[in-house]
Structures are given as structure tokens and as C-alpha cells.
């Protein structure tokens, strides 16, 4: 019982963060700090909606049992890509 509740809580946190990051990407024009960070990482303004869609799709995939694994794979890929961009930009604290 406790294992199931913990799994549900972690799933909801992961899905919530995916949707939040997706929404933040679509509303990045309202947040100058986010735009500055993305520019420092080399992410152009045309790529921001794609990243937002990527996060939203990841959240939806996590909700479906048959696609849960692929949702986690996409989530891991996005984390590794952000880490690689941060290393390339010399922003080691982000890594």
C-alpha cells in the first residue's frame, strides 16, 4: 500500500513538472531570466516552443502505462541535452 502511494506521488510530481516546464517554455517571453538562461545555453527562440512541446508530450506519455517507459526515456534525454548544452556554454553550476 505504501509502495503504491509513493509511486503515485512520484508519478504525479514527474508529470506535474513536465507540464510546468512545458508551460514555462511557452510563456518564456514573459520571463526575461528564463530567456537569458536559454540564450546562454545556445537555445534559440525558435527552439523554445519545440522544447515546450517535448515536455508536454513527455508528461502525457508518463500518464499512460504502455508509454511510461518512453516518457521516462524522453525525460532523461532532455536532461542530458540540457547538461550537454550547459557544459558547452561553460555553465558548470547548471550541470
Block means of pLDDT (10 residues each) for the chain, length 95 residues? 92 93 84 83 84 91 94 92 90 82
Tell the residue number behind the cell numbers 511510461, with chain if given: 68
In angstroms, the CA 41 to CA 35 distance is: 10
Q: What is the pLDDT of residue 61?
A: 94
Residue ranges of domains in the chain: 2-89
Q: What is the pLDDT of residue 64?
A: 93
Is 56 in contact with 24 (CB distance < 8 Å)? Answer: no
In angstroms, the CA 95 to CA 90 distance is: 10
Q: What share of the chain is helix, strand, coil (3-state, %, to 5)?
A: 85, 0, 15
Amino acid at each position: 500500500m505504501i509502495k503504491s502511494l509513493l509511486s503515485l506521488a512520484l508519478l504525479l510530481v514527474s508529470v506535474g513538472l513536465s507540464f510546468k516546464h512545458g508551460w514555462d517554455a511557452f510563456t518564456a517571453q514573459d520571463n526575461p531570466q528564463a530567456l537569458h538562461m536559454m540564450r546562454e545555453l545556445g537555445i534559440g527562440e525558435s527552439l523554445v516552443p519545440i522544447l515546450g512541446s517535448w515536455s508536454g508530450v513527455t508528461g502525457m506519455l508518463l500518464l499512460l502505462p504502455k508509454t511510461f517507459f518512453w516518457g521516462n526515456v524522453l525525460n532523461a534525454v532532455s536532461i542530458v541535452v540540457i547538461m550537454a548544452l550547459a557544459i558547452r556554454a561553460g555553465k558548470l553550476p547548471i550541470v
